[in-house]
Amino acid sequence: MIDNPYMIGVDWGTTSLRAYLMAADGAVLDRQIRASGILNVPDGDYAFVLEEACGGWMERWPGLPVLMCGMIGSRQGWREAPYLQGDAGSKELAAALVTVTTGKYQVQIVPGLEAKSFNGGPDVMRGEETILIGALAQGAPTEGLYCLPGTHSKWVSVFNGRIGAFSTFLTGEIYEMLCRRSILSALIKSTGSTSDEVRHEAFLRGLDLAGDGAGLLHQLFSIRARALTGAGDEGTAGDMLSGLLIGSELLSVGDRLRSFRDSLVLVASGAIADRYRTALAHLGFKPRLFDAETACMSGLCAVAAEGLLESTKSTNLAT
């Protein structure tokens, strides 16, 4: 029996849709998960997919605000929510929401952010801004260096509780590509009966390999050369590759890691959280850990709390 829900939050990315019915304190009252990522929506009928997933909630509580974040607001999604430029907090995000309609209900989309990367080039995020705001709402430090690992890992400077410069790394995508179909694939697939301890050591060797100065393109091949010449343990190529790529990412943020040694925050879930924690510990760093999925929900609540609730209630087509 669900009482008094506060809002519907939707994290709609490239590979999945995760919808949450939330209480005012951020507690999850109900959830619906679909494999309908934005690239997997027939005829681009996003309204249909959204109503299929959480139309029941919208019908039962017709005035409830619905807030979405992630790639649904990209050029390939439902409607582009243009990147917000410069430092941003929950206020700026709430002020720049983009509205779409299912026909019966209005739904808001959180915009992504555009900023300078650590090296001065342009960089963008979409979805991570909501996770960051959520981690802050959960008590993460208002000044610090945040790591959000994944397909496209983000390293983010947070100042005064606002999102500043950030750099994106293609780490997860390169890892997946090399596992799936490359000269390393066959090696990676033959994990055999390798023990967890041996695999852990291979991960650490991969981390160390990243620092040998030979360059990533050579280091990648050297995983194969090690296997061919018997210098690598059987069945550990995938772990070594993972260590190498994460190590390469950490090396690239090296100076900042040291500067923010005491205010490092890792926002991640599951196996990838373990990998990054292990990698950071290997280099002598101990980040505070926040769960990414929970942070995303908190972030949607925090943005909604910045005035969306009242304005949505008064304008929703169904009221």
Rounded to 5 degrees, φ, ψ at 65 are -65, 145
Shortest distance in whole angstroms from residue 305 CB to its own copies: 29
Shortest distance in whole angstroms from residue 118 CB to its own copies: 7
Pick the binder of its own copies from 16, 168, 194, 263 (CB under 8 A): 168
Shortest distance in whole angstroms from residue 185 CB to its own copies: 11
Site string for its own copies, 36-75 (x = CB under 8 A): ----------------------------------------
- Candidates 48-56, 100-108, 212-220, 302-310 — which segment interacts with its own copies by CB under 8 A? 212-220
* 119 Cβ neighbours under 8 A, 6+ residues apart: 167
Is residue 28 close enough to count as binding its own copies by CB under 8 A? no
- How large is the angle between the packed helices 237-252 and 216-228, nearest 10 degrees? 160
102-128 burial by CB neighbour count: b if 16+ within 10 A, else e? beebbbbbbbbbbbeebeeeebbbbbb
| Residue 78 to residue 89: CA distance in whole angstroms | 24
Pick the binder of its own copies from 218, 261, 286, 313 (CB under 8 A): 218
Query: Which residue, 76 or 315, has its beta carbon nearer to its own copies?
Result: 76
In 149-287, at which residue ranges do the beta strands (DSSP E only) sit? 153-159, 162-169, 264-267
Is residue 278 close enough to count as binding its own copies by CB under 8 A? no
Dig out the tokens for 276 from the structure.
């990054």
- AA identity, residue 214: A
Pick the binder of its own copies from 4, 119, 193, 314 (CB under 8 A): 119
* 111 Cβ neighbours under 8 A, 6+ residues apart: 73, 81, 82, 83, 84, 93, 96, 97, 98, 129
| Residues making contact with its own copies (CB under 8 A) | 83, 114, 117-124, 152-153, 167-171, 173-174, 177-178, 181-183, 209, 212-218, 220-222, 224-226, 228-229, 231, 245, 248-249, 251-252
